[in-house]
Structure 1
Amino acid sequence: MENFIRSYNAPSNVKCTEVIQWFEDNHKHAAEGRISGGVNKKIKESLDISISLKNGSQIPCMVNLLNFLWDGVKKYSEEFPIIKEADFGLIEDFNIQKYTPPAGGYKSTHFENESLRTCKRFLTWMIYLNTVEDEGETEFVYLGLKEKAVEGKLLIWPPSFTHAHRGVISKTEKKYIMTGWYSLIEPEIFID
């Protein structure tokens, strides 16, 4: 059965370690990881920096990563051409997240468009910024699938309940990800 999850590997010009270093250098801008109800460490324990596309595209270490993301979305669209019919874009801020052992991670099973505030999310994406050997996978619970955290791996998947997922907590290793959504947008209206 088709699971609609795709994985793409970053080219050599994408330097995930530089993004991790940028995160650590800018940790004063990090906030405790939030969920829709605020901070709840029983559900999600992380440090997050939220970045707009405009600001992210001005951070040198992120330019190649954002281009890689767009290339991945284009490949995904080629494989599932019906999505080219939708008007969507990277309009929400994306997040760089750090999960610190022994309890850091998104522990609760969740999906990405679970409220009116998030219902316009069209595609979910995540880039693993480091490799985690001791667990650290993303588990898609209804699909019986675990994706290993491998540096430079981009995952793209639908945001709906069919792709409910959670982080498998590594008790020994830090995990860094960059994640966000492509959301539906209003089509432009052209007047002649």
Structure 2
Amino acid sequence: MERVILAKPKSNPTFISSWIIKPTSLCDELIKYFEANKSKQYLGVTASGLNPEIKDTTDLSIKPKDILIPGNEIFKNYIEEIHKCHKDYISQWEFLENNPTAYEIGTFAMVRYKPGQHFKKIHTERFSLDTLHRVFVFMTYLNDVEEGGSTYFSNYDLDIKPKKGLTLIWPAEWTHAHRGKILKSGLKYIISGWIDFSY
């Protein structure tokens, strides 16, 4: 067996797209909701359970049906922005645009990081039979971060600095393994979830 190198492609996209959601005051309202609902917060967990050596955060989950609860209108506004971003994402790739598929947004989470915290382990969002339904990941940074706290995509050597309203969508596959870098000062808030195949 001999490995061969194919011709260099004409372009080398990361398949990570980004937008600034509007108005950015939406981010302030989401942070305000997070801090006002301490009873709904919990220590961050992964599929393998609670392990601060892997994920060291405080989280708050929102199920799709929770959006309809009075007082949760802010999430309806946010999801409308995510739908716009996703529609634009699909339009950027001929294969996706010409192969209409039904998608839905499942449970998503708001996450707060304090100095010294981060999602330490390189991970991906589609990694087992339990996560095969995940197609895309979405994430919005809810505030500016001055020191640390970036998201690092190891396969692309791409470091993304948190900026208020900056929203990313990327494929949930192993090709987009990533981790969070240590937050050095202040607080970092994000909201993230998955765009799934519709059942």
Look up the match of 1:37.
48
Instruction: Provide the residue aligned with 1:5 in structure 2.
Output: 16
Correspondent of 1:140 among 142, 146, 153: 153
- Indicate the SS of the match to 2:85: helix
Matching residue within 39, 51, 68 for 1:28: 39
Alignment of 1:59-138 (within 5 A): 59-84=72-97, 85=99, 86-90=101-105, 92-102=106-116, 104-138=117-151
**Higher Cα Rg, which structure:** 2
Matched, 1:17 2:28: yes
Could you tell me how far apart the structure 1 residues matched to 2:65 and 2:163 are? 27
Where structure 2 has 5 or more consecutive residues not aligned to the other structure, the ranges are 1-11
1:55 aligns with 2:55: no
Return the alpha-carbon distance in structure 2 between the equivalents of residues 185 and 152 of structure 1.
Answer: 27
Equivalences, count: 184
* 1:149 pairs with one of 144, 162, 167: 162
> Under a length normalisation based on structure 1, what TM-score does the superposition of the two structures give?
0.91
Q: 2:155 aligns to what SS in structure 1?
A: coil
- Tell me how far apart the structure 1 counterparts of residues 67 and 31 of structure 2 sit (CA, whole Å): 14
Deviating above 4 A after TM superposition, structure 1's stretches of 4 or more consecutive aligned residues are none
The alignment status of 1:177 with 2:190, answered yes or no, reads yes
Separation (CA, whole Å) in 1 of partners of 2:26 and 2:109: 17
Between the aligned partners of 1:11 and 1:31, the Cα distance in structure 2 is: 28
Q: Aligned-pair RMSD on alpha carbons?
A: 1.4
C-alpha contact 1:49 1:97 (8 A) present in aligned 2: yes
Identity %: 33
Relative to the length of structure 2, the TM-score reads 0.88
